[in-house]
Amino acid sequence: MDIKKYGQEFLQGKNAEALRKVADSEAGRRVASMLDPSEVERAAKNGDTQALEDMLRHVMSTPEGKTLAEQVKKAVSADGRRS
């Protein structure tokens, strides 16, 4: 799986603006502060899916992560209904 390609496709088109708003939300900023950008980048570049899964599992175990996941789900679903 090409994670970079998948990420770029996901962030384009109908999802882009909705996801940017979620990322800029309070929950998005809190979750971003939990992650070390260099670790995320290194794992993504190296295709280290186990490290990425561990990071995601950690984030999803927090109230902020759960809130962000729900916001993403709603944003993508709402955007899809507008099409």
In this structure, is residue 58 part of a structural domain?
A: yes
Judged against a pLDDT cut of 90, whether residue 40 lies above it is answered with yes
Q: How confident is the model at residue 9 (pLDDT cuts 50, 70, 90)?
A: low
Per-residue pLDDT reduced to its tens digit, 60-70: 999 999 999 99
In a domain, 29, yes or no: no
* Domain extent for 83: 1-6+36-83
Q: Is residue 74 part of a domain?
A: yes
Q: Into how many domains does the chain fold?
A: 1
DSSP state letters, the chain: --HHHHHHHHTSGGGHHHHHHHHTSHHHHHHHHHS-HHHHHHHHHHT-HHHHHHHHHHHHTSHHHHHHHHHHHHHHHHHHHH-
Q: Is the pTM of this model over 0.75?
A: no
**47-63 per-position pLDDT tens digit:** 999 999 999 999 999 99
Say if 13 falls within a structural domain: no
